[in-house]
Amino acid sequence: MREKRVAQDMTNKTSKIALNILKNNVLCTHCLGRQLALIGSGTTNYERGSAVIISTIMNHLLEDEEKAIKSSKIFSKTKHSYAIETYKKLTGEELTPTEKCRLCEGIFDKIELIAKRALDAVSDIEFETFLFGSSFPPEWLVREEELWTEYGITTSESIKGHFNREVGKKFSEITGKEFDRKKPDVTLIVHIPDIRIERYVSSIFLKARYRKLVRNIPQTRWPCNECDGIGCEACNYTGKRYPTSVEEEISPLVVETFEGKDSKFHGAGREDVDALMLGSGRPFVIEIISPKKRHADLEELTRKINEKAKGKVEITRLEYTDKDLVRALKENASQAVKTYRAKIYCEKPIDKERLKILEKKFTDQQLIKQRTPNRVSHRRADLIRHKVVYSVKIDDILNQQEFVAIIECQGGLYVKELISGDEGRTKPSFSELLDNNCKCVELDVLDVKEKI
């Protein structure tokens, strides 16, 4: 009994709110229901508005025909068929309301049209998930807030939220695609009132590892120092300091395969231009910007890249990933454990006993204090970094002045400066421990322990 009374009280309350608003305003059924959006759940705003209209008129029919005539005439402003037909039945008069809704100006009558325009806007791309947004004229939003203030409405939903949901539902119905708030393949922004559709295609992210098999290739495209990439006599008008890069050996085929506009290359750190990247390779993520295709045979793509870049670069483990991995790569690069092979030249003949001391010094996670090296000080902040060397093993003594060392260390350590000492900016160093001016003449990266 109590529940029935509560339900009746709620019906009376919503009827009173609705009639009060409509006495001096024209609202469509959608926007009427939207003013009561926070009262109850499990129904649409249109259904909510329709329920208020029907239940109010029906209650009035039971109470007093004149009251029903009055309420059906007021509710006819919403263009709801039940209100119009009831008024006609009771009075014999036919109402043909033509005024536009004060809040939406009839935009909810165009939902199917808008959904079809959105479909045209994405007809040339592959996608499985979508998200709708909207841009309404400021004066529309002001009108809505004025209505809330005028009638003390605290149960409404914004027109943007209502519109985005309705057009999204219709779009899903037409296309069979799924709504995704967090990571949609495509985001569609509807500009009101001209119904202009703006689309944003989400990037595709692929992860893999690359091996660099030749020296003097940078990881990413390196603009000419003289012209900053414009093209000049110094760079033979290529705009580049080096003819190619790891990125340029990989990215074009990826962009072509997914029909993207461009790409970005995200590496887990980078080796020096003159260093090889061997072993299982360095992890990287390639981001394809605004792709028209979202699916490809990655094994075939791997084969094409390795065939094109044969002898210079090769990739393995090409897989789909997401943007989160890019962030993880950047954050974890300095924590990765990296193994190098360095060919080292010494100014004086090598003292084998000191080589043993060198190995012993670096057997127990030796902390290195390293000031930003002179060779990169023009593009790196002048800081003192604290890095760890986990081990140093003498792999071979080539002659009286050259030897090969295997160095396992923390990511972000400048290995060439660990060897030379960089005029005292890196401590301890090979030069310091061997009491010999040392220089790295060849450097190879053997392993990058990065979990991707």
How many beta carbons lie within 10 A of that of residue 380, not counting itself? 12
Closest CA to 148 of 269, 19, 34: 34
Distance (Å, whole) CA 257 – CA 293: 8
How many beta carbons lie within 10 A of that of residue 52, not counting itself? 25
In terms of phi and psi (left: phi > 0; alpha: psi -120 to 50; beta: otherwise), the region of 444 is beta
Contacts of 35 (CB under 8 A, 6+ apart): 17, 18, 21, 27, 147, 153, 155, 156
Buried b (16+ CB within 10 A) or exposed e, 290-306: bbeebebebeebbeebb
324 is catalytic: no
Q: Which residue type does 36 have?
A: L
Closest CA to 143 of 40, 45, 21: 21
Distance (Å, whole) CA 430 – CA 363: 14
Cβ(30)–Cβ(167) below 8 Å:
no
How many beta carbons lie within 10 A of that of residue 427, not counting itself? 14
Cβ(314)–Cβ(217) below 8 Å:
no
Secondary structure (H, E, C), 4-18: HHHHHHHHHHHHHHH
Q: Find the catalytic residue in 194, 262, 272, 422.
A: 272
| Catalytic residue numbers, as ranges | 272
